[in-house]
Amino acid sequence: GFLNLKMKKWIRATITRSCAIIPTMIVALVFNSSATLLDELNEWLNVLQSVQIPFAVIPLLCLVSNERIMGSFKIKPLVQAISWLVAALVIAINGYLMVNFFSGAAKSVVMLVLVIIFALAYVFFVLYLISRGFTYTPWQLVASEKAKERDDE
**Burial of 76 (C-beta count, 10 Å sphere; 0-12/13-18/19+):** exposed
> In percent, how much of the chain has pLDDT > 70?
84
Domain boundaries of the chain, sorted by first residue: 1-30, 34-152
> Is the pLDDT at 83 greater than 90, yes or no?
yes
Of these ranges, 6-10, 86-90, 135-139, the one predicted with the greatest mean pLDDT is 86-90
Q: Which amino acid is at 76?
A: K
Q: Provide mean pLDDT across the span 105-115.
A: 81
Measure the CA angle with vertex 81, ends 77 and 85; round to 5°: 170
Contacts of 105 (CB under 8 A, 6+ apart): 111, 115
Q: Which helix (H) or strand (E) holds 151?
A: helix 137-152
3-state secondary structure 6-54: CCCHHHHHHHHHHHHHHHHHHHHHHCCCCHHHHHHHHHHHHHHHHHHHH
Instruction: Read off the pLDDT band of 150 (50, 70, 90).
Output: low
Instruction: Please give the full DSSP string across 43-98, using - where no structure is assigned.
Output: HHHHHHHHHHHHHHHHHHHHHHT-HHHHGGGPPPHHHHHHHHHHHHHHHHHHHHHH
Q: Provide mean pLDDT across the span 88-106.
A: 83
Q: Tell me the average pLDDT of the chain.
A: 82
Cβ 87 vs Cβ 58: under 8 Å:
yes
Q: Provide mean pLDDT across the span 2-28.
A: 85
Give pLDDT tens digits for 38-70.
888 888 888 888 888 888 898 889 889 888 888
| Biggest distance spanned by C-alpha atoms of the chain | 64
Instruction: Read off the pLDDT band of 79 (50, 70, 90).
Output: very high
Q: Model pTM?
A: 0.63
